[in-house]
Structure 1
Amino acid sequence: MGTEREDNQQASAVDDGAAQQDAASIADVSVEVATVDHTLQKLYRKYRKTRRKPKGLKRLWAHLLNVPHLALIIAAVVFVVVVIVWSLLWVFIFRRESNSGAYFAGMFRLANVEFIPEYRQAESHEFVYMANKIQHVVSNVYKMSSVARLYKQTVISDLSNSDSGILVHFWMVFVVPRLKSPAVCEECVGVIFRDSVHTSLRNRTSVGYLLGLPVDIDSILINAVQRSDYTSNTAGSQCVDKMYANLPGVKVPLNIFSSWGGVSCHVKLTAVPGSLIRLTVNLFLIEPSDCVNDALTVYDALLPMRGRILHRLCEPVSGSISLVSTSNVMLLSFRMTKGNKTFRGNFEAIAAEICMSQIETQSGSGISAQIYSPFYPSLLPPQCSCTWRFETSNSALGVALQFQNYVLKPKGMKACDHGWWKVNEVIFCGSYVGHSTVFRIYDRSPEVEFRCSSRHAALPFQASCSSYNISQPCAENHFLCSTGLCVEKKRRCDGLDDCQDESDEVFCSRPTMKCGGNRPPHPLFVCNGETDCTDGRDEINCTQETTCSAIRYQCRSGSCILKKNAKCDGVHDCEDRSDEMDCACGLPPTVKKDGPERIVGGVNSVEGEWPWQASLHFSGNMYCGASVLSSDWLISAAHCFSKERLSDPRYWTAHLGMLTQGSAKHVAEIQRIVVHEYYNAYTFDYDIALLQLKKPWPTSLGPLVQPVCLPPTSHTVTDSHRCWVTGWGYRSEEDKVLPSVLQKAEVSILSQSDCKKRYGPVSPRMLCAGVPSGERDACRGDSGGPLSCQSSDRGRWFLIGIVSWGAGCGRPNLPGVYTRVNKFTSWIYNHIS
């Protein structure tokens, strides 16, 4: 208050002085004679003296509007805006980028370092000491590299016994902005480590010394992993366990129940040094989803490294299967969603198998011995070998190996994916097939060496060993097949594939139709649905029971009848009437067929004409075709899903009931993809796959969506059958634009002899269809789509073929090659039933 009062007194004194000055000025004006200029100057001085100075905010505003002050204000405002913008960029962009991590899992071997039991315990003083030492060395490698600023840390996860050394399992973490992510690619990170070891190699060995640590350069493996792999395997995650098999041959139980559902579980298995691990799966109850939701991944390491995947189980297992590791460690990675999920099995330590034997074959045609793949009946590990030495009784006899589901062929330019074989210095490759084969060796004392060559666990094999006459492999009245089998000569050209590769049925002159005499007509003409004899004798007694074969229809009771195309023909042929069951298929609605617009190779379809036709879209783009088999199953070609990313069902959708692309009546997500286990990506053999929909298509969509009929094994296609190939693929080989409307083209089925004349290596699971001019054919984009055949004008449509491969599109005398569906009927029903 005192201060306020003093200010008021000072203000009063100032006002009094101003009043005196005003009075003096008036007096001066009254006595002076003034000029105009003088008067103006007086008025200006008077105005300047009597004007009141601004106070408070007005005074401050006037001060700030001064030009030098205004420049400073603008600069300050710009500075503040820049700081705010930079802070926001840092928080929302740059900081987020800098906090993105790149994670890697790796392993290498320390040579000539003694492994002690304490290394198995991560809490032990010995493990901590060794782990810190290794971490220091690895960190120095990357802190002195080109990615030093991005490197964060190395974590030693496990130490295990290896050949005369220690196998180190470790994690590496980098903090990487996305713009610099190529600098820490998987290959780059691995090269940095290998180069550091390479510069220290001594004495021309593979061991280099890094700060005293002898690192085997050949053992270095580094894989990029997901952050979830890193976090779920570190301490504190929901399910990480370690189990140890300390006694060889003693089975350690492994049981995981649904109480563990909804989490990712990792079980690390270790066995006594120098041994291997055999894992046996007795029961695995999960929901099949192509390993998207439920899965068991077995690693040949203690970390989830892509390059060490031993096997993956994506479907339920009810029978016993077993796997063998290549060392004394194994990692089980379970991913199970909530529900009634169960795993039951065991593991045990087994001795490394020395697979070598001497076999003496007996004279004669009888089986002398059996040979088995290493660790049989377990799956083959990625690294294994076996050697067999055979001896026959005399020089005229060779060795015959009859395999159940395996075939040996001379090695070409490509690597052997399913077994490397050396027979008397000649190299062969093995592959899996669905039939028996015989491999003959023209030597009385051959040495056969086998090596595993698959990157993952492979199917086992076995073979029967016998001797044979080199000069006459088959008996006098038998025919030698290309598969090595011997069949009776009278069975050649009888319509049955006795050789399993059709070598007894190709290049046969078309049999003549003999309707007179006592001999029955040729089996190809008997009960095929067409009257070939004028008296109709070839089509009588077709429902009588007979011996079963591939060209005779088998009823559900197990009995067989002569009639080939008995399924769903409107007549009850089987006593149990099973031939007319499950026949809600292959009858499209009556549609109005307008005059079609001609397109190169075909014509436009009309809506509802092919209700089983589906379009498969990958990542939103049309990629392949398919056919509807049931309310939740489609069928397509295996090569549509051959690459790793293409095998993930989450990227696929099926468009059903569609005439024009984009107008589907139903779009369904794919739950899983089942590719045939024998599919060969080089030859396109077994080119077939099944797709299960996440949700069945509604029955209300009928008749625009309905299944096509599956042909039985005995189903035959005659000249009277009408066959059409359909799809949204390109209309010519040079075409660049896909048609929007579903195309159809009528084609004819060629004989297998004509098919082999055009292409040569055509398997019995393939067929050719087209026209001589080549003007009607399937093309790119039609793969997996149907080749449908109708027996009569109002008969049902059967899926005879699946678009597979061919030489170009629409070339003369080069028909399209299709997967022959009736060879896979049993395989299909085993999965969809």
Structure 2
Amino acid sequence: MEKPNCDDSAKPADLNVSNISVQMVTPPEKLPVRKPPRRPPRKPIGKVKLKKKKVKKVPFWNIQNKIILFTAFLIILAVITWTLLWLHISQSESKDAFYFVGLFRIANIEFLPEYRQKESREFLSVAQNVQQVMNLVYTTSAFSKFYKKSVVADVSNNNEGGLLVHFWLVFVVPHAKVFCEECVAAILKDSIQTSIVNRTSVGSLQGLAVDMDSVVLNGVSSFKLCYKGCAHDLYADHPFQHFPLEISATSGHLMCHFKLTASVGYLIRLSIVSLQIEADNCITDSLTIYDSLMPIKSTILYRICEPTRSLMSFVSTNNLMLVTFKSPRVRKLSGIRGYFEVIPEEKCGSTILAKESIGFEGKISSPYFPSYYPPKCKCTWKFQTPLPSLGIALKFHNYTITKKNMKGCDHGWWEINEHMYCGSYIDHQTVFRIASSVGHVQLQCSSRLSDKPLLVEYGSYNISQPCPARHFRCSTGLCVPQARRCDGINDCFDESDELFCGMLKPACNVSAFQSQAPLVCDGFRDCEDGQDEENCTQRIPCNNQTFKCGNDVCFKKKNAKCDGTVDCPDGSDEKGCSCSRTASSLLHRIIGGSDTQEGGWPWQVSLHFVGSAYCGASVISREWLLSAAHCFQGSRLSDPRPWTAHLGMYIQGNAKFVSPVRRIVVHEYYNSQTFDYDIALLQLSTAWPENMKQLIQPICIPPLGQKVHSGEKCWITGWGRRNEADSKGSTILQQAEVELIDQTLCVSTYGIVTARMLCAGVMSGKRDACKGDSGGPLSCQRKSDGKWILTGIVSWGRGCGRADFPGVYTRVSNFVPWIHRYVPSLL
């Protein structure tokens, strides 16, 4: 580890250098000065030769010069020896040093404003006192021979009173030694003597009244300790006034921190307006927000590792906050623009008397909405309806709650009338109904990190009839009109209104058009034969939600371009589309799990982890791939550095183009238990060259909400195992034709198939994907133009090729907006 390049707040003890001797020799006494001879009178210049006077030469190596040279040699030798010794110690410390940051609260010392000045006598006095105590604790411990020094970095006050001390420790340990990091914190805590009589957490630490519950200590990289040249200590005491926080650079590196302190009794809200940063999964570039003045891991509120232009705000749990920004290799504009403000602490929760009328009437939210809510928050709402027949309905926005199991809750836990539930984020609304006129609802933040803001609507409902007459109740808890069931539109968000519909299709005739006028001439082909879009003399007006044709005709469908359907009379919506090719070479393919032809599936990618084939992926642009989220589950697999992408490959190990993976973006709602939202994007470090188009081509992304039909033929490809009993995958790229399975049958087979999934295979089980094919494409050829569409991603299934258990794939059409968020070039 590198030695931190910053000045200590309190001067550490000087290093002693032994076995160096410098001998100083005194010069001899002065010699007597000899008087010069008297000069004869000047004679006129003539031919007379002047007689040269012989000057007696003094030898250079006389005793005086020898003494001077010997003394200079000794001084130079001492300087060189000191420098080499210092470099050895410095390098040894840099390689073998362990750094810890921590804090604790001293209960019996009141804060003084002078403590904010690091050069003040008051700060130095407290710092010296604490450092002496820390030195005594660790020099008398089992780690005494490794302990080097302690440094007090900050002294502050917080809302609990007393004095909060922020410090860091340095230990120097030889490489061969095993160092117990947990023991460092244990030594400090065990040194605090607490009283059993008064049962207080405040004890004596060598005379300091330290609160044992406030002690936090953990290891940290040395570069986090200080940012010399880019450090800002900011103090604010005016509530709701915006204090700017900005920094930027176009080259070089940025390593900055902002220490934010507010008045006692207040909190800090940090708002990020924009963040320019290289997206790399927090390996090098990141913005980290701490709930303290030191980079203590356990106090992290949130970490941002990708650029953003949308407003995000975060609230501290106390009057302290540290913001660290690192971008060590700035290639283009990097920086942060935002502000912070002082806000009062607010209570979360209330007593609510619902109205007698049925419906949603009000809203409740997480603390400090719309800011990310801080950790350790707790909210309690008490609901009461006017009639015993009325219950309480809660509509969660992009959130849902499910029964709590033995595991903890990652995104808050809920107690509703003494029943426990876990919360999770999703991309649609859900409704939870309390079948009682009284509801006791409590939200407890179980996560240590800040989390996304929550918005919940509340209202009354009829307990005996949860949904109004002529309405259908979705599995998400929503109520939709019966007339909208089986109409091909996902009104329930999870497609529960479209399940068990059999072969029912919406009527597409003249009478239907008359009763459902919005279906006509709106840019959507609601009928398979396109009747609703025929003989249209007038289209809807153009706006920012429409696609504009070259002849100024506007369509409601914003993503009409390059969807394979000619919506514009002049065909301008399908011009300039480069994804995938018509697969004329595929007409001669062998059906049923066989070797492919080289270049036949130009979008197929093999992902290698630490040099071995692990998963598949699909090319969707010059530098982006699409794969499955479960391939990157866990901290080791989510690190892009061990991954390489092999493109244009027919035989394993013989790729035409190989690129390291620069970035992995796993869908934020991915559920490792159910494989819901099983999708991930990968960015290549190097884009594949244009001259490889014959062997590498992107596959088309389907239009949003693309409808697929059971029985439709598609292809699966990959280097995975040929059967369930195989121990390794295939060397040659394999292909198999499968058919799409009806969603109702798929749900009845597995029971846990969501709207983000679809089934494909053959019910006999003879053709299927297997281990090693995960993340690979389910490719379907569009009849209208012959283009290939990435309909699915190999996700999961029961075994491989088992009868009555087809493969389950991620339904790509449900993730088109999410893909466009990271790959806008596909728009």
Contact map agreement 2:105 2:215 (CA 8 A) in 1: yes
Counterpart residue type for residue 189 of structure 2: R
Contact 2:486 2:506 in 1 (8 A): no
Question: Residues 326-475 of structure 1: matches in 2 within 5 Å?
Answer: 326-336=317-327, 337-338=329-330, 339-475=332-468
User: In structure 1, what is the equivalent of residue 675 of structure 2?
Assistant: 684
Q: Give the structure 1 partner of residue 702 of structure 2.
A: 711
The answer on 1:584 being equivalent to 2:581 is no
CA distance in 2, matches of 1:96, 1:721: 67
SS at match of 1:140: helix
Q: Which amino acid aligns with 2:215?
A: I
Residues 356 and 594 from structure 1, CA distance in 2 versus in 1: closer, same or farther, beyond 3 angstroms?
Answer: closer
Alignment of 1:281-360 (within 5 A): 281-336=272-327, 337-338=329-330, 339-360=332-353
Aligned 8 A contact 2:563 2:574 in 1 = yes
What is the rounded CA distance, in whole Å, between the counterparts of 1:357 and 1:406 in structure 2? 21
Q: Is 1:506 equivalent to 2:503 in the alignment?
A: no
Return the letter of the residue paired with 1:216: D
1:227 aligns to 2:222 (yes or no): yes
8 Å contact kept, 1:497–1:504: yes
Question: Which secondary structure does the structure 1 equivalent of 2:136 belong to?
Answer: helix
Equivalent position amino acid for 2:176 in 1: L
* Structure 1 residue 621, shift from structure 2 partner: 3.0
8 A Cα contact 1:201 1:207, kept in partner: no
User: In the TM superposition, what whole-angstrom CA distance separates every residue of 1:87-106 from its partner, at most 9, and x where no partner exists?
Assistant: xxxx9999859951112222
Question: 1:121: Cα distance to partner?
Answer: 2.6
1:228-273 CA-to-partner distances (Å, cap 9, x unmatched) read 223x34xxx2212211112222222112132795131111111112
Matched residue, 1:218: 213
- After the TM superposition, which of the residue ranges 653-662 and 505-514 deviates more from structure 2? 505-514
Deviation at 1:608, TM superposition (A): 0.7
Task: Tell me what 2:32 maps to.
Answer: none
Q: CA deviation at 1:628?
A: 0.6
Which of residues 168, 171, 178 is equivalent to 1:171? 168
What is the Cα-based RMSD across aligned positions, in Å? 3.6
- Counterparts of 2:662 and 2:457, CA distance in 1: 41
Change (3 A) 1:119 1:519: closer
Deviation digits for residues 458-499 of structure 1 (CA, Å, limit 9, x no counterpart): 110212221111111111111111111111112222222211
Aligned equivalent of 2:805: 814
- 1:128 Cα deviation from its structure 2 partner: 2.2
| Match for residue 781 of structure 1 among 772, 796, 802 | 772
91-100 or 256-265: which moved more? 91-100
Moved more, 758-767 or 191-200: 191-200
- Whether the 8 Å contact between 1:543 and 1:561 is mirrored in structure 2 is no
Matches within 5 A, 1:651-662: 651-662=642-653
1:739-779 deviations in Å (ceiling 9; x for gaps): 22222232222222222222222221111222223343223
**Structure 1 vs Structure 2: percent identity of aligned residues?**
49
**Contact kept? 2:193, 2:205, Cα under 8 Å:** no
Matched, 1:126 2:119: no
Which digits, 9 at most, give the CA deviation of each residue in 1:632-657, with x for residues without a partner? 21111223333234333333322111
1:654-673 pair list within 5 angstroms: 654-673=645-664
2:189 to 163, 187, 194: 194
Q: C-alpha displacement at 1:284, in angstroms? A: 2.3
2:615–2:772 contact (8 Å) kept in structure 1: yes
Q: Any idea what SS the aligned residue of 2:715 has?
A: strand
SS at match of 2:183: helix
Contact 1:258 1:341 in 2 (8 A): yes
State the 1:699 CA deviation: 0.8
Structure-2 separation of matches of 1:576 and 1:404: 41
Structure 1 residues 489 and 704: alpha-carbon distance in aligned structure 2, compared to 1, 3 A threshold: same
1:683-762 to 2 correspondence within 5 Å?
683-719=674-710, 721-762=712-753
Distance 1:732 1:189 in 2: 52
Shift of residue 672, structure 1, vs aligned partner: 2.5
Query: Which range is displaced more, 209-218 or 761-770?
Result: 209-218
Listed one character per residue, the Cα deviations across residues 169-220 of structure 1 (whole Å, up to 9, x for unaligned) are 221211122222x323x33333333344488766444344322333333333
Confirm whether residue 100 of structure 1 aligns to residue 96 of structure 2: yes
Cα gap change, 1:436 to 1:568, in 2 (>3 Å): closer
Q: Distance in 2 between matches of 1:685 and 1:171?
A: 43
Q: Is the 8 A contact 2:711 2:739 kept in 1?
A: no
483, 487, 498: which one pairs with 1:490?
A: 483
Relative to structure 1, the CA distance from residue 515 to residue 374 in structure 2 (aligned partners, 3 Å threshold; closer, same or farther) is: closer
Q: How far apart, CA to CA, are the structure 2 residues paired with 1:425 and 1:379?
A: 27
Cα distance in 1 for residues equivalent to 2:396 and 2:745: 30
Amino acid paired to 1:697: W
Q: Structure 1 CA distance, aligned partners of 2:792 and 2:322?
A: 42
- Looking at structure 1, the residues matched to 362 and 169 of structure 2 have their Cα atoms a distance apart, in angstroms, of 52
Q: Aligned pair in 2 of structure 1 residues 366, 582: CA closer, same or farther (>3 Å)?
A: farther
Q: 1:138 to 1:726 in 2, by over 3 A?
A: farther
Residues 1:265 and 2:285 aligned together: no
Equivalent pair of 1:627/1:707 in contact (CA under 8 Å):
yes
Report the CA distance between 1:322 and its aligned residue: 0.9
| TM-score of the superposed pair, with normalisation by structure 1 | 0.79
Aligned residue in 2 for 1:148: 144
Q: Quote the Cα distance in structure 2 between the aligned partners of 1:768 and 1:567.
A: 26
Give the direction of change, closer, same or farther, for the CA distance of 1:93–1:281 in structure 2 (3 Å limit): closer
Q: 1:489 corresponds to which letter in structure 2?
A: Q
Structure 1 residues 357 and 214: alpha-carbon distance in aligned structure 2, compared to 1, 3 A threshold: same
Residue 233 of structure 2 is matched in structure 1 by: 242
Structure 2: distance between partners of 1:763 and 1:225: 42
Letter matched to residue 248 of structure 1 = P
Show CA shifts across 1:567-618 (max 9, x none).
554x63334635424532222665599997x9xx832222111111112223
Which stretch has the larger CA shift, 585-594 or 263-272?
585-594
Aligned residue for 2:33?
none
CA distance 1:592–1:808, change in 2 (3 Å)? closer
Counterpart Cα distance in 2 of 1:260 and 1:364: 62
Larger CA deviation: 211-220 vs 330-339: 211-220
Aligned CA distance change for structure 1 residues 760 and 135 (closer, same or farther; 3 Å): farther
Mapped partners of 2:162, 2:719: distance in 1: 59
Q: Structure 2 regions of 5+ residues with no counterpart?
A: 1-86, 521-526
1:470 is aligned with what amino acid?
I
Whether the aligned pair in 2 keeps the contact of 1:568 and 1:583 (CA below 8 Å) is: no
Comparing 248-257 with 817-826, greater Cα deviation is found at: 248-257
SS in 1 for 2:813: helix
Residue 345 of structure 1: how far off its partner (Å): 1.4
1:556/1:578 contact within 8 Å kept? no
Q: How many residues of Structure 1 are paired with residues of Structure 2 in the alignment?
A: 720
CA distance in 1 between counterparts of 2:555 and 2:798 reads 39
Q: 1:696 to 1:516 in 2, by over 3 A?
A: closer
Does the residue aligned with 2:687 lie in a helix, a strand or coil? coil
Show the counterpart of 1:641: 632
Q: How does 1:583-602 map to 2 (within 5 A)?
A: 583-587=577-581, 591=585, 602=593
Q: Is the counterpart of residue 826 in structure 1 residue 820 in structure 2?
A: no
Show CA shifts across 1:507-559 (max 9, x none).
233338999997799x9xx99xxxxxxxx9956555567999xxxx9856696
Q: Whole-Å Cα distance in 2 between the matches of residues 800 and 328 of structure 1?
A: 51
1:54-74 per-position Cα deviation (integer Å, ceiling 9, x unaligned): xxxxxxxxxxxxxxxxxxxxx
